[in-house]
Each structure stands twice: as C-alpha cells, then as structure tokens.
Structure 1
C-alpha cells in the first residue's frame, strides 16, 4: 500500500517533467504575432595597392569603389541568407599539417540601397548598404527551417522589363521594397 502511494506521485512527476514548456514554433500565438520591418545595414571594403600612386589614377579608384560595393552586397547576402562553410583539416601525429576553409554564398539581393561611400585616408573605400526586410519575409523565415530559407523565402526576380524601377516591384509580390 505504501509502495502505491510513493509510486503514483513519482510517476506523475516523471510524466509532468516530459511535458513541453512554452509554445511550439507553429502555435496559433505565432500566427497572430505581427512582425515589424527590419533594416539590415552592412559595410563593404575595397582598396587599391599603392595609396600614394593609385589615388591619382581614376580607374583604380573606381575599381576600389566597385570592389567595396561588391563586398557590401556579399555581406548583405550573408546576413540575410547565411553562409555555407566547407572545411578540411589534415592531422598527423596530433599536429595539424593542412587546414583549409572555404565559404560559399549563393544568393541574389534585390532592393538594397547604398547609404554612403567613404574613402578613408589609408586608401580604404567603404560602402555602406542597407536592405529593409519586410514583415512577410520575417513571417516566411519563422515558418520554415533554416536550410529552406534560401529556397522558400527567396526574393522573386522580375519576369518582365523592370525599367520603371522598384516602384513597379510592389506588384510582383516581392518580399523587399525600397522606401
């Protein structure tokens, strides 16, 4: 009889410890939650080889500016969609002989806005870009797993001539807009 009175509370405690705490990812509370737009801001950097000589060369200055702009786009894609990292290490007798890492970004960004381009005294060109992530993008990211974000929540590419710019893009069901 005493065994029953001690065993029942222990089993009840064990079952209650297995109960979920908090809410699930797809709970009705998450469906009604309102997301606010987020502005992601990144910097990209570029430079030229010889600061004294190349600063006077217009072509090299433009190439450094272009390199900083492309670096900013890459940083923006990494922040929004993430980076794939491949690594390989060779170890012999507990000593690392070769250690290789490669990163991979496969994405496209639409709707990014260049905020500033600054040329520093040391020859570094910095490009600051920002992208406004709309609530629909955040809802999409909250619904899918991390490895599906790139495919499911991708920025739709325009299927027609987009010569009127991003004002027309509001009609294409895009996840990104410019103000």
Structure 2
C-alpha cells in the first residue's frame, strides 16, 4: 500500500474522531465559552493592575477611588488590552491568554494622574519607582470560560482530545471531570486558587522571625495585615493545577519569589511593628535562612453542591454534604494583660488554639453514612487520625476580632481536604476486601 493512499485514510479518521469529540458543542456554545473566558481574562488583568503598589501607603485601587475619571481611564486601558488566541478543549471550555507590560500600565497611570488627580498624597515621581518594586515586568493572565448551558452533567465526552487539558495531570481531563462538565471544573479551580492564596498569606504571616515574634505580630488586628497581604500576593505565580482522577477535587499550586516575600515583610514591619526584637536590617537574612528560592502553597477546591449531588446520583458514590463546603470553628481567648498590644496578641494565639481544638471536635463528629462518623471511621484505620490532625493544623485563620476583654478567632478548611483522606482510605479498604 502506498503512502499516498494511507495518508488520506488517516486524515479522514482523525477528522471523523474530532467531529465525534466535538459533537454536541455548537458554535453558539463555543462563542459563549470564548466570551466568558475573555471576561475572566479582563477581570484578572484588572485585579492585578489594581493590586500594584504606587508608594508605601497607596495601591492603584486607592488611586482609582480618588476619581471616577481616573477609574474610567484605567478601565478603558484594561479593556483595550489585546487578548491572545483562544483555545478550546473537548469539553467545550475555552482559554484566552492576555498580557501587558508594567511599563504600559505606568504610562497610563502617569497620564491619569496628570489629567485628573487633585490630591497631594501621590506624586508623579511615585510612578517611576513602580518598576523597581514590581517583581515582574510583564503581567500575564489566562482567562477561562465555559458555555452557560454547561451547568448540567455532561455525557462524558469523546475519546479524542482537541488539545492538552489546562488543568489535569498527564495532559488529559479525567473522566470524572468530563461527567460534570467544564463549568464545574472551572469553578472548582477558582475555589482552589482562592484557597491557595489564603494559605500563601497564612504561611507568610506565620513566618517566625525570632523565638517570640512572627510576621502576624506586626499588627494586633489580623484583618489589616490580611488585606495588605492579599494585595501583595497578586504577583504569585500559578505553578500547576491538578484534577484528581478519582474525586471531584481540584488543586492549585502557587509560588511566590522570596524577594517579594522579603519586600512585603519589610513593608509590614515599617508600617505596623511596634516592638524592638526585630530590626528591618535583619529581615532579609532571617527569611533567607527559612526559604531559599520561593514560598509555595497548594489550595483545594470542589465544584458547587449542585454539581456534587448530580455526580453522586449519576455514579452512585455517596458524598456527604460537608465535603463540598467549608468547615469552620470559632475560638476564644484572653490574657491578663489584654489591654496592651502584647496581651491582645497572646489572647489571639490562645483563641486560635481554642478554635483548632473545636474544629477537631467538629470534624470528628461529621457523618459519613448513616450513623458512622469520621471518629468512628478513624478507629478502623489508625493513621486516619494523624492525617486529619495534620489537615487541622494547616487550617487557615479567616478572621480575628477583639471585644472588650476577649479575642475571637475563626479558622477554616475546605471539607474537600478531609473527604480526600476519607475517600482514599475507603477505596483502599474496599479493594483489600475490608482488611486494615
């Protein structure tokens, strides 16, 4: 058989297979997915630009709040950024890349400042130093979108990929994720990304600078430092996304250069630190002894409950309601010297410990099936307790509040983290025939 006869046959098979894989995905659906991805790209660009620091007291988001005209100029600039070539996947989802140089952003800010700014807290010279303070000179984002009518459970998709999946190990979207459709997948990834940002912030706050001092000690109100950290962590890089092939759990890994962490801690130190234990000149050496190149954090997320329930009904997998949400607990603490900043910090630490203890109690009482709880299941598999304990230690402080004489701390973790431990052990026991 000659090559000229073989190639047309192969080409026909490939085209036919691709048509089968794309069956059910209309041009209208692709257009909706593209529009959603473009909107997501513009939103991410705006978030990144608004999170740029102008000077030690002001971010771009503060600058645009000064005037509707300034906001209009920035919004017009963001909407005018040219997007990259869209890429579709076999489940109907779409990715749209976008990028803009920091120099272009600065040029727009300088123009808006000259035309509209009436205050005196931001100088034209402040914009010139943005480049020196910004780790990246090019802002890159990827917008993700899915057809609006993809909320329903999908039929599983075809066997031919139109390209490597953007969020799957090994370059293919696992079958369990094809079942729930692209909308569920993207929402799970977004939830995982938010969880990763929270954990990255918590890791920076928990960095110990001396035997007595952590970064979180720079302020007595945790919400203040959290707000500033969120703005500074915008520059974190998304290093990888993983979709579990056995559970509807997405993971996102974020990394942050050590240089940026040092800059952030120095800034928080100068703004909020009231003690004498840590000098600004010591921070760089201290941080470098802990982290060599970068900080990283992995967040987990699951699709909204409606997708989880539909998937459970279709596959026959029993999924507890708490697996798709957040598990939280509130702790309280006080200190004899509560009236002083140091006393408030000690009270907050005591409240955090109390919150994690209550979180452990709540998780132990979570029901799996019928009358079986997590605590009951842990007696069957001894190592489950240690794994769950490790997850609890890794829970995130979401708020810290102070009353007249008490600190109240809320800690939280995704139910998916606990369920991932339980479900893996359930499958192991089932495969081994019930043995331990």
Q: TM-score, normalization: structure 1?
A: 0.40
Q: Which has the higher strand share?
A: 1
Higher relative contact order (CA 8 A, sep 6+): 1
The structure where helix makes up a greater share of residues is: 2
